[in-house]
Amino acid sequence: MQEPEFFRVLPAGVTLHTARISFKGVDVPTLVGCVDQLDAESGKLADAGVGVIVFAAMAPSMVKGKGHDLGLIARMEKAGACPATTAATAFVQSLTHLGIRRIAIGAPWSREINQLMIAFMEAHGFEVVASAFAGLTRGEDLVRSEEHTSELQSH
For the entire predicted model, the pTM comes to 0.84
pLDDT at site 138:
67
Task: Report which residue type is found at 28.
Answer: V
Percent over 90 (pLDDT), the chain = 64
Does 9 score more than 50 pLDDT?
A: yes
The interaxial angle of helices 68-80 and 38-47, nearest 10 deg, is 40
The gap between the terminal CA atoms of the chain, to the nearest Å, is 25
pLDDT at site 152:
52
Percent over 70 (pLDDT), the chain = 88
pLDDT at site 139:
61
